[in-house]
Amino acid sequence: MWNYIPHTREDKERMLEALGIKSVDELFEDIPKEVRMERNYDVPGPLAEDCLVRHMQELAGKNLHLGNCACFLGAGVYDHFVPSIVDAIISRGEFYTAYTPYQPEISQGTLQAIFEYQSMICELTGMYVTNASMYDGASSFAESAFMACSATKREKVLCSKAVNPEYRSVLRTYTRFRGVEVEEFGYKDGQVDLEDVKGKLNDKVAAIMIQSPNFFGVIEDLASIAELAHSKGAMLIVSADPISLALLEAPGKLGADIVTGEGQALGNPASFGGPHFGFLAATEKLLRKMPGRIVGQTVDTEGRRGFVLTLQAREQHIRREKATSNICTNQSLCALMGAVYMSAMGKEGLKEVAKLCYNKAHYAMDELAKRGFKRAFNAPFFKEFVLIAPKPVKEINEKLLKEGFIGGYDLSGQYPEIKNGWLIAVTERRTKEEIDRFVGIAGGEVR
């Protein structure tokens, strides 16, 4: 007997008898003999629950985690505080053991929560519509390129080199097979190099794609880039850090046509890179070009407010090969974590988090600058910044690790032109004491 399978010997006999067969094997006789599996899988188990827990604890115990070290690493995933109510809510079986809300009468919980999530993301980004979530920041960025191509009937996008290298890598994969051309443009003092963009922009370009704050943590001048894009009939696509939007102007107000981003910072644990969620928000004009699920408000037969999946004629289960995207399962529960987080932090809390990040990051930058690290860019930054280390970053990070710190991202692999470039993230979780010790250890490496 198995604890997840209820069939007793008598149950099976009764069921076989009802079917008029002697053995369950008869139900598998239509599988051709040459492909029938006649042996057991060579996989471990079965393990009793307590043995499984010990095994899993042993594996987990081999990992250093953010609960027992101080993390100054960001580069797309951030060690933000997550209130305990987030896990309490998403641990309710009514949420996590439900399917996609195709039957609205018995899915109002999920549907309304997504509607609230959509409303909050639209507030932060200043956009008209957002969907119920995408896989992550990278894939939402890539899908937004297709939206822009479809809306402008053009087949080329320009992408900033100061966009997260993971996002650019995913963009390259997605576009390569779809026949969309990607041309990259450079950065100057850590920001979009407008002259380079001007040289590459023409009426074949569907969109200019940027990130702000960008991979270097630098805040981009969205309004100027939007104006440039629109002057040639191209769109502006911005990938944004949602925490930063508590302090930074909503991209929608500055002319962005599509705003995407990674939602991890909104109440999702680091999880070794996933699951998190991507968000994708757009102007009203692009409503019917949106990929994925969208929840809309309506009324029932008795006039009561209710919520449904709407505009489904865009989607794969209706439109098949003509759908705006193939996305089906998204990251709904992670988006719910985002909604609970945004509800808990609220209007003031999210600003407070953003201000803490901003002040602590600037304090850390100032202190490191006093110890022989040079600021790479003078442009304004939010919670992440690039320093030029006096020696290879790897060596400094190794020293820090020995002292219980996870050091910043080593830019040497992706940005060899920034010699000894060190990308450091400071969230609200870092205390002054941690920053001072970090600075002390890193500064001790400068000789």
Partner 1 sequence: MKKPVELIFELSKSGRKAYSLPACDVPEAGEKIPEKFARKIDARLPEVFEVDVVRHFTRLSQLNYAVDLGFYPLGSCTMKYNPKINEAVSRLPGFLRLHPYQPEETVQGALKLMYDLEKMLCEITGMDRATLQPAAGAHGEMTGLMIIKAALEERGEGKRKKIIIPDSAHGTNPASASMVGFEVLEVKSDERGNVDVEDLKKLMSDEVAGIMLTNPNTLGLFEERITEIARIIHGAGGLLYYDGANLNANLGKARPGDMGFDVVHLNLHKTFSTPHGGGGPGSGPIAVTKELAPFLPVPTVEKEGERYYLDYDRPLSIGKVRSFYGNFSVMVKAYAYILTMGPEGLREVAECSVLNANYLLKKLRDYFELPFDRWCKHEFVISGNRQKKATGVTTLDMVKRLIDYGFHPPTVYFPLIVPEAMMVEPTETESVETLDAFAETMISIAKEAEENPDLVKESPKNTPVARLDEVTAAKRPVVKWDFEA
Question: For residues 236 and 163, what is the distance between their CA atoms, to the nearest angstrom?
Answer: 14
- What single-letter amino acid sits at 74? G
Site for partner 1 in 118-137 (CB under 8 A): 118-120, 122-124, 128-130, 132-133, 135-137
Check binding of 305 to partner 1 (CB under 8 A): yes
| 9, 46, 153, 447: residue in contact with partner 1 (rule CB under 8 A) | 46
When the beta carbons of 202 and 431 are compared against partner 1, the nearer one is 431
Check binding of 323 to partner 1 (CB under 8 A): yes
Choices 181-189, 201-209, 229-237, 296-304; region in contact with partner 1 by CB under 8 A: 296-304
Beta-bridged to residue 156, according to DSSP, are 181, 205
| 148, 226, 235, 334: residue in contact with partner 1 (rule CB under 8 A) | 334
Site for partner 1 in 198-217 (CB under 8 A): none
| 229, 259, 265, 340: residue in contact with partner 1 (rule CB under 8 A) | 340
| 320, 402, 416, 447: residue in contact with partner 1 (rule CB under 8 A) | 320
Choices 39-47, 149-157, 184-192, 437-445; region in contact with partner 1 by CB under 8 A: 39-47
Check binding of 389 to partner 1 (CB under 8 A): no
Check binding of 439 to partner 1 (CB under 8 A): no
Site map 354..383 versus partner 1, x via CB under 8 A: -xx-xxx-xx--x-------------x---
Beta-bridged to residue 32, according to DSSP, are none
Shortest Å distance, C-beta 162 to partner 1: 16
- What single-letter amino acid sits at 318? I
Name the pairing type of β-strands 405-406 and 70-71: parallel
DSSP string of 356-388?
HHHHHHHHHHHHHHHTTPEES--S-BSSEEEEE
Cα→Cα distances 384→32, 213, 220, 336, 359, Å: 59, 9, 13, 26, 11
DSSP string of 181-218?
EEEEE-EETTEE-HHHHHHH--TTEEEEEEEES-TTSB
Cis amide prior to 44 (ω within 30 degrees):
no
Check binding of 333 to partner 1 (CB under 8 A): yes
Cα→Cα distances 109→103, 171, 307, 411, Å: 11, 34, 9, 44
Check binding of 81 to partner 1 (CB under 8 A): yes
